[in-house]
Homo-oligomer: A and B are copies of this chain.
Amino acid sequence: MFPVELPDPPWRTAARKPVRQPLSRDKIVDTALGLLEKEGIDALSMRRVAQALNTGPASLYAHVRNRDELCELMFDRILGEIDFQPPDPGRWRAQLKQLCFDQVAAMVKYPGIASVVMNAMIPLGPNALRHGEAMLAILRSGGLSERQAAWAFDALGLYAKAYAAEVASWRDGAEEELAERGRQMAEYMRSLPAGTFSNLMAIGPLFSAETARERFEFAIDTFIAGLDALAER
């Protein structure tokens, strides 16, 4: 019948007050990224982040406009983990490929960030700017025109985000469910008159999580080969 939390007795110095260091943008982004990294995108709610900071959801809105802005900040922080070398015209193909791989690696490390940030055409912060500038410099050093470099930059970035989103969607417990789905589909196709969907049936087994990296590499290599054809002309 007394208050759940008794007030501190007077002989306990007031300086011992809760250490509760103040909230800040950076601290919020930090714990949100930590949550995302080890618990997946489902754990990334304002309430959950606030809980991890021992506070309520309303407290976050003093430092962050809304959930979308938090995600943008997180994404930019992630891009900051990538480091790049100055463009070397003789190796622009390899450098470009490396940059794409680094970008997906950074996104895959935090599963779910890619799908959240897919619908954001405009670069989201200083690190995104640095990254974009580096990629454009490499493309220009490969002999592409301004316009070609811009479109290639756009296409590669979009594809990288989409690929990262796909890979991230295999987290949680969805892996087994997906395999089950594939099995059902194979059986369904076998039940059809022979000859229907023969091409699809042939490649079905190729699509698994193991070949994901190979698929991404093929896409990037093929696109760069196409850029080559443009640059040589």
Contacts and interface: CB of A to CB of B under 8 A. Distances in A.
Contacts of A194: none
Q: On chain A, which size bracket covers the interface?
A: 35 or more
Interface stretch (A47-55, A57-65, A196-204): A196-204
A218 B136 contact: no
A133 B115 CA distance: 27
A46 to B, nearest CB: 19
A213 to B, nearest CB: 11
Give the oligomeric copy count: 2
A118 interface: yes
A152 B169 CA distance: 21
Nearest to A203: B150
Contacts of A221: 226
A182 interface: yes
Interface of A: 115, 118-119, 121-123, 129, 132-133, 136-137, 140, 146-155, 158-159, 161-163, 165-166, 169-170, 178, 181-182, 185, 189, 196-200, 202-203, 206-207, 214-215, 218-219, 221-230
